[in-house]
Amino acid sequence: MNRRRYGSTGKTVSEIGFGAWQLGNKQDWEAMEDRAAVSLVHEALERGMNFFDTAPGYGGGASETLLGAALSGRRAGAVINTKFGHGADGSTSFDTDHIRASIEGSLQRLQTDYVDSVLIHNPPFELLDGKFGHYHELDKLKSEGKILSYGVSVDSVPEMLEVIRHTDIGVMEVMFNIFYQETAEAFKLAHEKDIALIVKVPLDSGWLSGKYDSSSTFEGVRSRWSPEVIAKRAALVDRIRFITDEETTMTMAALRFILAHPEVTTVIPGVRSSAQLAENISASHEVMPPEHVVRLKELWDKEIRDQQLGW
């Protein structure tokens, strides 16, 4: 597994990380048995994957709890990123006074005395520049050794620029994939400030795995797509099948497109099985042909940018 610098933390992380949203998440997925979840984390470590992304709100705290159980005795080999804003009890609060309690709750569930990074989890825009004291509080926790770095999880260029221009964060998680390339416009600036970039939603909520088409139906969180959006997405999937071949699945190619951007630190696809884990890791074994990267960027700029696809 290839590794990349994790900002200014002094650590390196696997360029393919482990998105742990689905661990213990019984609301949006058929949850894995706890034993299977722990085993999957162990397998990831053994295969060279060391970056794990979680949050208190994932699975009502179960994601952190299962990850903590899996990493017990193996903490030194892992880099953990968690978040603040959406609580394990289902509440949402970005109150500065709640930061410490949230992070200490995460530490308890993760069975560790520090996390490598904490992100403010998609906060309102007006919080991003730090005028309400969020980064000051995170600096205190950093000085105490409870966190090594901090930042934000956001979805758009205006949000990215607001943070980059007004703060000294060390980590940023952004949405970016073949069907959503807007955020790449701020990658260079983030890189110049030595901000580690974590890419979320790399498979566009499953569409870039190639498993959906115009006849697909959805339940749970994915029922948000209208029939019109499903038809648009299915047509786009057909347009990009040139990125696959006998040895390259669409998932692998979609991850390689992201890794073709050198400013990206790590990408965090979800993983629910050993087969998915192996497929994700295989993306790190080769690079996307440059001509494919160019075609995908042109497709986005000329035909996808202005389409209303939702997320």
63-90 pLDDT per residue, tens: 999 999 999 999 999 999 999 999 999 9
| 121 contacts: CB under 8 Å, gap ≥ 6 | 55, 57, 83, 84, 85, 86, 153
Distances in Å between the alpha carbon of 148 and those of 101, 152, 215, 292? 17, 14, 46, 37
What confidence tens digit (pLDDT) does each residue in 214-234 have? 888 877 777 788 888 899 999
What pLDDT is stored for residue 25 in this prediction? Answer: 65
Distances in Å between the alpha carbon of 223 and those of 28, 191, 218, 229? 11, 36, 5, 11
Contact 56, 83 (CB under 8 A): yes
What pLDDT is stored for residue 215 in this prediction? Answer: 85
Q: What is the DSSP string of 31-82?
A: PPPHHHHHHHHHHHHHTT--EEE--TTGGGGHHHHHHHHHHTTTGGG-EEEE
CA 97 to mean position of chain CA atoms: 26
Q: What is the DSSP string of 20-31?
A: -TTTT-TTTS-P
What pLDDT is stored for residue 213 in this prediction? Answer: 87
φ, ψ of residue 183 to 5 degrees: the values are: -65, -20
Q: Which domains does the chain have, with CATH numbers?
A: 3-206+258-289 (3.20.20.100)
Token representation of residue 105: 């709750």
- Taking the C-alpha atoms of residue 25 and residue 58, their distance in angstroms, rounded to an integer, is 6
Q: Could you list the pLDDT tens digit for every one of the 311 residues in the chain?
A: 999 999 999 999 999 999 998 886 665 555 568 888 999 999 999 999 999 999 999 989 999 999 999 999 999 999 999 999 999 999 999 999 999 999 999 999 999 999 999 999 999 999 999 999 999 999 999 999 999 999 999 999 999 999 999 999 999 999 999 999 999 999 999 999 999 999 999 999 899 999 988 888 877 777 788 888 899 999 999 999 999 999 999 999 999 999 999 999 999 999 989 999 999 999 999 999 999 999 999 999 999 998 877 77
Residue with tokens 């890419």, as numbered in its chain: 199
- Taking the C-alpha atoms of residue 237 and residue 208, their distance in angstroms, rounded to an integer, is 7
Sign of the four-CA dihedral 28, 82, 17, 256: positive
